[in-house]
Structure 1
Amino acid sequence: MSASLLVIAVVALAVAALCRRHGLSSPLILVTVGLAIGWIPGLPTPELNPELVLFLILPPLLYSAAQESSYQAIRARWRGIAALAVGLPLVTTVVVGFVAHLTVPNLPLSAALVLGAVVAPPDAVSAQAIGRRLGLPRPVMTLLGGESLLNDATALTAFRIALAAAIGLTASLSEGLLTFAVAAVGGLVVGLLFGVAVSWVRIWLTDPPMETAIGIMVPFATYFVAEQLHCSGVIGVVTAGLFLGQRSVRLGYATRLQDEAVRKSIDVILESFVFLLIGVQMPFIIEGVEGESWVQVAIDAAAVLTATIVIRFLWVYPAAYLPGVIFRGRLGPDPRPTPASVFVVSWAGMRGVVSLAAAFGIPLTTQSGEPFPARAEILLLTFVVVVGTLLIQGTTLPWVIRKLGVTGDERAQDRLAYAAAQDRASREAEHRLEEIAAGLADDDPRRMQVVLMRKWITSQRDVAWEELGRGPETIGESPTAAGSRIRTELLHLQRKVFIAERDAGRIDDEVLRIALRRLDFAEGQGDRGV
């Protein structure tokens, strides 16, 4: 089993690398490759383990997304995010559950609601990746990002409540609401406690490798403790990630650089692995429905898939416009979204591995010992929804974004804001340099460093303001850009010399590593673009 998982991880990473190299959307291609691998005769393929996804894969992905999110942006659009991350999964659970109950033969309503909860949470990872590549407006990206952080918690809590009713553990509506509230508040508290504790420890350590190692363990520890306390591990991880993401500005530069590199590498591995693993599950799912009428299965699948897609539209449009009409002027500023951006948010409803993991987590029997009703059909319908939304919405979302012209101009605004802030920062630095210079004698050799620092500060300001104008394709290479290019060329030349010295035996590898580390930081400091 472990060897199979390792092979899947290696193949997934190779496929994802090819997709990224050629600018292709990797989720659907990875699922397709997984389908092909799953049908290879005699090849051992692992069955999806829900604990593997919900404990080892979901927490680090959520934690990474939370750290990269903006707390201010989420707070400014909390109503839209709440509608997508809390209201929509609950409505989807009910609507899809009733559609499945009316369509699938011998599927009781309690089990149908389990299916509704399973397919309720969209996987916004691929939608966000597409949006970043095509330049979606920041408000749209904030909505999709906020939804992806919290909708799993809502759907998984609804799944637990529906599952308890389906297997015979009596749960009234009031008990379900209480369970939901306790899980949400408890997860929030656990996440804050972990965030405060880890933030203090990392600042106290001032040891970049150890700080990054602790950061890697945070999502797993937070999720585990929250779940052991019967709270929402997802909300705990998201809360800890948001808190530590805001506090990361107080860490050392080496820790921040290291954290980002490690986090992005882990994200690539896990995202590639889970999408390939989805495709590999097809043989296990087909085995469960052998002997069923495939005509009826097709009807069931079409009904559930259609309901899953349509209910998002029926919810998103009213949620986008009705609050502003009903509570006009009483809810604070919340810019009216354009119809095109609302359509893009409605269309970005692809499902992912969380849905499939929840489906595989359905027990084989109820409390009475009877087989869980239509478990095999629920697994198949979940698979159809996941692959169907990836195929229908995932492949067409880039075309929809381009066709509707939903793009943002935040990059120009960011450059202006950066230039203004850099100007203020440079003035403060120059003032401090004047204070330092005033305390030095005229013949003090340290005055040369003051002169060099003043030139460096001026260069920073010049770069920021130059980037506001026309690009080099219209005005040619700016003096600062030329200086940066020459500086990079000289750094590369020095790097080659150090490597040649090592190859000639005049320095050893430890000296080479020291030299390369210094040159790498120097080159990184030269890349000041926004």
Structure 2
Amino acid sequence: MRTIQLLLVVVGAIAVAAIANRRGMQPSLVVVILAAAVSFVPGLPRFTLPPELILGVVLPPLLYSAALDFSFVSFARNLRPILSLGVALVLVSTFATGLVAWWVVPGLAFAPALVLGAVVAPTDAVAAIAVGKQLSLPKKLMAILTGESLVNDAAALTIFTLTVTAVTGGATAAGGPVGLFAYEVVAGVLVGLAVGGFVIQIRRRLLDSGLETAFGLVVPFAAYLVAEQVHGSGVLAVVAAGFMLGHNETSAGFATRLQGRGVWQSADVLLESFVFAYMGLQTRFVFEDLATAGIDWRDFVLGAAILLLVVILVRPLWVFLTYGNSVLLRRITRRKLPDALPWRYAVVISWSGMRGVVTLAAAAGIPTVIANGQPFPGRALIQALAFVLAIGTLLAQSPTLPMLIRRLRISAPEEQRRQSEAVRKARKIARDATSRALAQAMKHPPEGADPKMMERFASRMRAALAERQRGSDADAVEAAENSTARATMWVVRQELLAAQRKALIRARDERKLDDDVLRRELERLDYEEAAAATSME
């Protein structure tokens, strides 16, 4: 793809997404539909990217950004439903889709049909998570959907590698499929943790927010490429690195955290808009390839319709099977399971099965020939079916998901109450830490500090704490009458903020606060420090 064409796709996708968002429509759906229509413009060249570029450049930043903002505590707390959806359901979906494709699609052998099943197995939770944030879905439901999106790509791509190897006749790992899967998981996680630990050590020595942010942009690509070099899971390496750096985000400076949030939010918007535009722009050319391969249209349409139904229905069947088992287990044991889901949550999860960029990238990555030099059997058919299933799930489920959520009237008053209590608890921890640090500063003031000025500063800080007003204590910096006094107040202000951060981090480490509450309070403190730093200029 030419550079100017790629730039036009990106700019056009962002513009359409912005307009759709302003008018209350789903940006992903609007972008896909318009891009599909544009693909039929006469003379329009084909927009294609190598699959390794999509998997190695587009996917890692999206996964890394999600992992940075996702609480590892929430991930561990919801591990059972996440693994059920992200691993077990991927396996079930692969074999269910593959078997049905083998039966209903003429000319598609069993092994290539399993390749198709692996290609369409991973869901793309980008649209579901965006809808969930917009409608303020409960924290537990959002944690499950986000956690699934972080692990199902790795599981599906590993199965895809195994099925392609079975068709091409390539060499497999000594331990067989299970050994290969275990090795990729362990190697990917270890590489991600190693990259994350290395970055944390380097970041502590940079002491420059611009360099730290720039260095952070390299992390997802480095983790992915290193893991792929050792034949581990690049996807899991990115997720592990994101978890580690997100958990240790407190070691960075306030400017680095503020810059990083803005950078990754912008990257998410850019990449998500591009992904859906790229999907839509393939429409005409996929069907042209199908016609060139001489595949009968009636057989294709019938097979695609049946497979779309299977792909959509497998997920709710699996979700409610596991949900029914948990209900039965509760009745047998007569006790409440800690990870039991309300039935409304299960309905939303069952309808959040849209496919996306990983499906398209995997389909494009199918080899053209097998080990004996013959063409890969059914390659054009698999790619066309994968495209139809990805677009079909997006068009069927994405516009109806918000209506389903509103109809179910999902709310979690108990969860909201706990969240409010956690925020109040965090604020109290911060206020207590400020009071202790302020008393210490009054006993041991900075060298050259004016006692009267210190007392006035302390009075304003106590009043601000009593009134619980965000940022009101920053006025104390402005009260300084000369540059020396301002510098003194800045030193004291930094000590107070540092005391609050340490107290909040200690509470998180002692399991008194969740990661998401900690991040929210740290963001508030970061903005306070940024405002105080600006007043010093």
Q: What one-letter code is carried by the residue in structure 2 that aligns with 1:445?
A: D
Residue 256 (structure 1) aligned with residue 257 (structure 2): yes
Structure 1 residues 374 and 334: alpha-carbon distance in aligned structure 2, compared to 1, 3 A threshold = same
User: 1 CA distance for matches of 2:32 and 2:417?
Assistant: 37
User: 1 CA distance for matches of 2:25 and 2:272?
Assistant: 15
Q: Is the 8 A contact 2:442 2:454 kept in 1?
A: no
Gap runs ≥5 in structure 1: 464-479, 491-517
Residue 43 of structure 2 is matched in structure 1 by 42
Q: What one-letter code is carried by the residue in structure 1 that aligns with 2:316?
A: F
Residue 62 of structure 1 is matched in structure 2 by 63
Bigger Cα displacement from structure 2, 283-292 vs 2-11: 283-292
Q: What one-letter code is carried by the residue in structure 1 that aligns with 2:111?
A: S
Residue 374 (structure 1) aligned with residue 367 (structure 2): no
Residue 435 (structure 1) aligned with residue 440 (structure 2): yes
Q: What one-letter code is carried by the residue in structure 1 that aligns with 2:14?
A: L
Give, in angstroms, the shift of residue 174 of structure 1.
5.6
Residue 462 (structure 1) aligned with residue 467 (structure 2): yes
**SS of 2:399's equivalent?**
helix
Bigger Cα displacement from structure 2, 385-394 vs 401-410: 401-410
Q: Is the 8 A contact 1:119 1:382 kept in 2?
A: yes
Residue 163 of structure 1 is matched in structure 2 by 164
Give, in angstroms, the shift of residue 123 of structure 1.
0.2
Residue 11 of structure 1 is matched in structure 2 by 12
- The size of the alignment, in residue pairs, is 478
Residue 228 of structure 2 is matched in structure 1 by 227
Residue 312 of structure 1 is matched in structure 2 by 315
User: 2 CA distance for matches of 1:49 and 1:19?
Assistant: 29
Residue 342 of structure 1 is matched in structure 2 by 346
User: 1 CA distance for matches of 2:462 and 2:232?
Assistant: 50
Residue 448 of structure 1 is matched in structure 2 by 453
User: 1 CA distance for matches of 2:174 and 2:463?
Assistant: 65
Residue 516 of structure 2 is matched in structure 1 by none
Residue 401 of structure 1 is matched in structure 2 by 405
Give, in angstroms, the shift of residue 413 of structure 1.
3.5
User: 2 CA distance for matches of 1:51 and 1:428?
Assistant: 50
Give, in angstroms, the shift of residue 461 of structure 1.
5.5
Residue 418 of structure 2 is matched in structure 1 by 413
Matches within 5 A, 1:56-135: 56-135=57-136
Q: Is the 8 A contact 2:46 2:285 kept in 1?
A: no
Residue 522 of structure 2 is matched in structure 1 by none
Residue 269 of structure 1 is matched in structure 2 by 270
Give, in angstroms, the shift of residue 523 of structure 1.
8.8
User: 1 CA distance for matches of 2:317 and 2:15?
Assistant: 39
Q: What one-letter code is carried by the residue in structure 1 that aligns with 2:383?
A: L
Give, in angstroms, the shift of residue 45 of structure 1.
3.2
Q: Is the 8 A contact 1:80 1:320 kept in 2?
A: no
User: 2 CA distance for matches of 1:228 and 1:219?
Assistant: 14
User: 2 CA distance for matches of 1:75 and 1:325?
Assistant: 24
Residue 218 (structure 1) aligned with residue 219 (structure 2): yes
User: 1 CA distance for matches of 2:166 and 2:79?
Assistant: 31
Residue 500 of structure 1 is matched in structure 2 by none
Q: Is the 8 A contact 2:78 2:339 kept in 1?
A: no
Q: Is the 8 A contact 1:4 1:45 kept in 2?
A: no
Residue 521 (structure 1) aligned with residue 534 (structure 2): no
TM-score of the aligned structures, taking structure 2 as reference length: 0.83
Structure 1 segments (4+ residues) deviating >4 Å:
170-174, 323-333, 523-526
Q: What one-letter code is carried by the residue in structure 2 that aligns with 1:341?
A: Y
Q: What one-letter code is carried by the residue in structure 1 that aligns with 2:103?
A: L
Q: What one-letter code is carried by the residue in structure 2 that aligns with 1:265?
A: S
Q: Is the 8 A contact 1:67 1:242 kept in 2?
A: yes
**SS of 1:395's equivalent?**
coil
Structure 1 residues 72 and 444: alpha-carbon distance in aligned structure 2, compared to 1, 3 A threshold = closer
Give, in angstroms, the shift of residue 77 of structure 1.
1.1
Give, in angstroms, the shift of residue 431 of structure 1.
2.5
Q: Is the 8 A contact 1:422 1:460 kept in 2?
A: no
Q: Is the 8 A contact 1:429 1:457 kept in 2?
A: no
Structure 1 residues 400 and 435: alpha-carbon distance in aligned structure 2, compared to 1, 3 A threshold = same
User: 2 CA distance for matches of 1:152 and 1:175?
Assistant: 21
Q: What one-letter code is carried by the residue in structure 1 that aligns with 2:297?
A: W
Residue 325 of structure 2 is matched in structure 1 by 322
Give, in angstroms, the shift of residue 418 of structure 1.
1.6
Residue 388 (structure 1) aligned with residue 392 (structure 2): yes
User: 1 CA distance for matches of 2:173 and 2:335?
Assistant: 33
Q: What one-letter code is carried by the residue in structure 1 that aligns with 2:531?
A: A
Q: Which one of the candidate residues 302, 305, 310 is aligned to 1:302?
A: 305
User: 2 CA distance for matches of 1:309 and 1:450?
Assistant: 67
Give, in angstroms, the shift of residue 453 of structure 1.
4.5
TM-score of the aligned structures, taking structure 1 as reference length: 0.84
Bigger Cα displacement from structure 2, 252-261 vs 405-414: 405-414
Gap runs ≥5 in structure 2: 479-526
Q: What one-letter code is carried by the residue in structure 2 that aligns with 1:315?
A: W
Residue 248 of structure 2 is matched in structure 1 by 247
Residue 482 of structure 2 is matched in structure 1 by none
User: 1 CA distance for matches of 2:306 and 2:173?
Assistant: 28
Residue 149 of structure 1 is matched in structure 2 by 150
Instruction: Quote the sequence identity (%).
Output: 40
Structure 1 residues 524 and 34: alpha-carbon distance in aligned structure 2, compared to 1, 3 A threshold = farther
**SS of 1:448's equivalent?**
helix
User: 2 CA distance for matches of 1:230 and 1:172?
Assistant: 11
User: 2 CA distance for matches of 1:89 and 1:101?
Assistant: 18
The superposition leaves residues 435-454 of structure 1 with CA deviations (integer Å, 9 ceiling, x where unpaired) of: 3324569x963443443355
